[in-house]
Structure 1
Amino acid sequence: MPDVLTKTLRDSRRSLAGFAVGTALVGAMYAGFYPQVADGAMGQAVEGFSPALREALNMEDIGSAAGYLGSSVFGIIVPLITVIYGIATGTRAIAGDEENGYLDLLLAHPVSRTRLLLHRCAALAVGAFALAGLVLLAMLAVRPGARLDTISIGQFAAQSVALALLGTLFGTIAITVGAATGSRAAALVGSAAVGVLSYAANTFATQIGADPLRYLSPFHYYIGNEPLRNGFQWVDLGILAAAVGVLVLAATVAFNRRDLTS
């Protein structure tokens, strides 16, 4: 029996390559627009937004490199694609195999449920970090020409690590729901609903007078303390990693307790 982690990565190599390259290219393209923004091409349009909307979209300092990337590239575009990657991968990991009839065949080999789930989670994390690593390389490639030199390599790396943990977290949510229900639809809908609600909580909680809700959102720990300005936020990264660990534990317990013969 081949190593489950290696086989999972090999089987998903095309999907991972597509997501990673696509995310890096889109991120680099939008990062390349910064000189036009810095020269005031977008400033007048943003000034037409209400103060509350500018604050919600993190556009209060769009003229700086960190402000621009934090509101557009790393604020919306790149995390959206990364979360989609995580959810798609997590949905296939257990529930997808179960619905396709592949899970029974796999577990007929000397592979425990715990080992299978842990290796699938590890493959998800490896993929998320590979995607984030390619995004980091793309940012560093366009950094001189796009006038992003005010952001250090370490600050870009800090945001990229947070990005990888964000994708891993939402993928693990999908794995947990799939392991508990065996339903690909439930895993997809459940993790997507958490993504939408948590993004809304982080973005609009302050505007509706419910600021504490932001601290329930993974997006707050991903970008709330501005790694592009302040570098590694170890507490935030630790919270994201701890959440992944709790979800993996919950998924393992649920998967081992389920009757897969029904």
Structure 2
Amino acid sequence: MKLVRSELSLQRASLIGWSLAIAAFVALVVAVYPSVAGDDSLDAIYEGLPPAAQQLLGGSDATSPVGYLNTQLYAFLLPAILLVFAFGRSAGTIAGEEEQRTLDLLLAQPLARWLAYMEKALAIAIGLFLLSVASLIPLFALNSSAGLDISVANLIGQTTQMFLFCLALGMWTMAVSSATGKRGLGLAVVIGYTVASYLIYGLAGTVSWLENIVPATPWRWYAENQPLQNGVGVEECLVLLAAAAVGALVGMWFFNRRDLHA
């Protein structure tokens, strides 16, 4: 686990900065809620959107506590912020180092390739977990004073599914990047898939044939069961966790067997 500790130590300042920024962003969103609670005009704006847009933005209820957090945080903005971190770290940790010609220094150590890969993946998972926890702190602190009064269990459930959703996409970014040695290719493939699946998830309600594709989108397993309202979905968590594990194993397998770029 020395490599995990080393990776986290190198990222310490970055993780602190990310955590503070995310906590400040969430605190700002939560602090605004009392000024919009019960504002029918805001609900009217969301209700006037096309069904696909409502699905993409978290629904048409923007002023209830659950609806507000869904539309302003969890439907897109907060997972998008975490995905920026996950994509950047996952593409850069193997392929980025290989492109910079620094990976050889690590692999020259008495450490198996597969183990180096898995420890780097674990460091990314820990970093992403810490950022997810950082997003929860202001919600816990302001939950009552802002008038949200959402169940702590549901907040944790929502954050858990968001963490696993971002982790799964991050592990596949690392897999594609590490398997090819090309950071940009890994980013292009997984970001392209993420955006396409987001649009499919939103349009499925109005384009019937897309409904058959929805189970192949990570957004379905992240948001369909509405964890902020209904609590954590065990099936959803298991699917996302399995996707992350398979991504890590696939990436490790390919990285362990290919020649590094000179």
Alignment of 1:1-262 (within 5 A): 3-40=2-39, 41-149=41-149, 151-209=150-208, 210-260=210-260, 262=262
Q: Which SS does the other structure have where 2:76 is aligned?
A: helix
The C-alpha deviation readout for 1:156-215, integer Å capped at 9, x for no partner, is 001111121122112111110111110111122122112211221222222222112221
State the Cα RMSD in Å.
1.6
1:14 to partner: Cα distance: 2.2
% identical aligned pairs = 30
1:261 to partner: Cα distance: 5.4
From the superposition, tell whether residues 204 and 18 of structure 1 become closer, same or farther in structure 2 (CA, over 3 Å). farther
The answer as to whether partners of 1:31 and 1:73 remain within 8 angstroms in 2 is no
Letter of the 2:157 counterpart:
A
Question: How many residues are matched?
Answer: 260
The answer as to whether partners of 2:52 and 2:203 remain within 8 angstroms in 1 is no
The C-alpha deviation readout for 1:199-250, integer Å capped at 9, x for no partner, is 2122222222211222111122112101111111110000000001111110
Query: How many angstroms apart in 2 are the aligned matches of 1:192 and 1:18?
Result: 24
Q: Which SS does the other structure have where 2:18 is aligned?
A: helix
Query: How many angstroms apart in 2 are the aligned matches of 1:13 and 1:44?
Result: 44
Query: How many angstroms apart in 2 are the aligned matches of 1:247 and 1:145?
Result: 41
Query: How many angstroms apart in 2 are the aligned matches of 1:96 and 1:51?
Result: 40
1:18 to partner: Cα distance: 2.2
TM-score, normalisation: structure 1:
0.93
The answer as to whether partners of 2:225 and 2:233 remain within 8 angstroms in 1 is yes
Letter of the 1:142 counterpart:
L
The answer as to whether partners of 1:83 and 1:166 remain within 8 angstroms in 2 is no
Q: Which moved more, 1:86-95 or 1:62-71?
A: 62-71
1:56 to partner: Cα distance: 4.1
Q: Which SS does the other structure have where 1:33 is aligned?
A: helix
Q: Which moved more, 1:98-107 or 1:32-41?
A: 32-41
Query: How many angstroms apart in 2 are the aligned matches of 1:55 and 1:6?
Result: 40
Letter of the 1:92 counterpart:
G
Letter of the 2:186 counterpart:
A
The answer as to whether partners of 2:204 and 2:214 remain within 8 angstroms in 1 is yes
Query: How many angstroms apart in 2 are the aligned matches of 1:86 and 1:201?
Result: 22
Letter of the 2:16 counterpart:
A
From the superposition, tell whether residues 261 and 50 of structure 1 become closer, same or farther in structure 2 (CA, over 3 Å). closer
Query: How many angstroms apart in 1 are the aligned matches of 2:23 and 2:212?
Result: 33
Letter of the 2:20 counterpart:
V
Task: Point out where structure 2 has 5 or more consecutive residues left out of the alignment.
Answer: none
The answer as to whether partners of 1:125 and 1:168 remain within 8 angstroms in 2 is yes
Letter of the 2:258 counterpart:
R
1:125 to partner: Cα distance: 0.7
The C-alpha deviation readout for 1:52-88, integer Å capped at 9, x for no partner, is 5334433232232112211221111100001111000
Moved over 4 A (4+): none
1:51 to partner: Cα distance: 4.3
1:32 to partner: Cα distance: 2.4
Q: Which moved more, 1:11-20 or 1:235-244?
A: 11-20
Letter of the 1:144 counterpart:
S
The answer as to whether partners of 1:85 and 1:167 remain within 8 angstroms in 2 is no
Query: How many angstroms apart in 2 are the aligned matches of 1:55 and 1:161?
Result: 21
Query: How many angstroms apart in 2 are the aligned matches of 1:52 and 1:258?
Result: 43
From the superposition, tell whether residues 126 and 213 of structure 1 become closer, same or farther in structure 2 (CA, over 3 Å). same
Task: Point out where structure 1 has 5 or more consecutive residues left out of the alignment.
Answer: none
1:47 to partner: Cα distance: 3.4
TM-score, normalisation: structure 2:
0.93
